[in-house]
Amino acid sequence: MSISTRGVAFWSSVFCLLAAEQAAAIDYYTVDPAHTSIVFSVAHSGFSYTYGFFRKATGTYKLDKDNGANCSFSFTIDANSLDTNNQDRDKHLRSPDFFDVQQYPTITFQSTRCTASNTQDGVIYQLTGNLTIHGVTKQVNVPLRMLGSGPGPYKDQRTGFLCQIELKRTDFDMKNLLDGNLVGDAVGITVSFEGSQQQPGTAPVQ
């Protein structure tokens, strides 16, 4: 039985419509650096926690409200932008004793898998991805809570997120000053960011 030309055209149209609808369901966002905060905390000699920021970060992400598996997130942080409110300490943290920013100037995260679930606290995205710090790449799991979604003050479409995780710096080959817990191994990280939806026609995220 041969398939008629009209039949091929019909099914092609159906597939194209489905593909277009699928593409339309995915929204692309660019991280807004002005509304992105990356805060870390680390224990000092068992007496206190020292808090610091990374002041420069860029990123993009794509969201599929219908299918969490299609979502992905990509972040790049300028390691040199760290700030703990003490210049001498910042200098030391940037040095080869810790981040070695001259050799490893960026911290990156690229998600490889994503699931989304609706909870009492809103939509939670469970990300699995590759986190690279100090030239060492580790797979990490990151819970990402969507804080809000809707039109922003500049009439753009925005989404905002919060994530809180704990890492061990030794996993990323930063092993100095561990004796006596002078600088703790566990590092608490809080990231909150907003993204502005990209206009159609702009380059999609990777």
Residues forming the site for other proteins (CB under 8 A): 88, 91-92, 94-97, 100-105, 135, 170, 173, 175-180, 182
| Residue among 62 and 94 whose Cβ is closer to other proteins | 94
| Residue among 106 and 192 whose Cβ is closer to other proteins | 106
| Residue among 63 and 101 whose Cβ is closer to other proteins | 101
Q: Report DSSP state, residue 198.
A: P
| Residue among 8 and 182 whose Cβ is closer to other proteins | 182
Q: How far is the CB of 186 from other proteins (least distance, A)?
A: 16
Q: How far is the CB of 91 from other proteins (least distance, A)?
A: 5
Q: How far is the CB of 138 from other proteins (least distance, A)?
A: 14
Q: What is the CB-side half-sphere exposure of residue 107 using CA atoms within 13 A?
A: 21
Cα–Cα distances (Å) from 180 to 43, 92, 177, in that order, read: 11, 18, 8
| Residue among 61 and 99 whose Cβ is closer to other proteins | 99
Beta bridge partners of 174: none
Q: How far is the CB of 55 from other proteins (least distance, A)?
A: 18
Angle at 59 between CA 56 and CA 64, to 5 degrees: 150
Q: How far is the CB of 103 from other proteins (least distance, A)?
A: 5
Residue 164: how many other CB atoms lie within 10 Å: 14
Closest CA to 135 of 112, 162, 103: 103
Angle at 57 between CA 53 and CA 63, to 5 degrees: 120
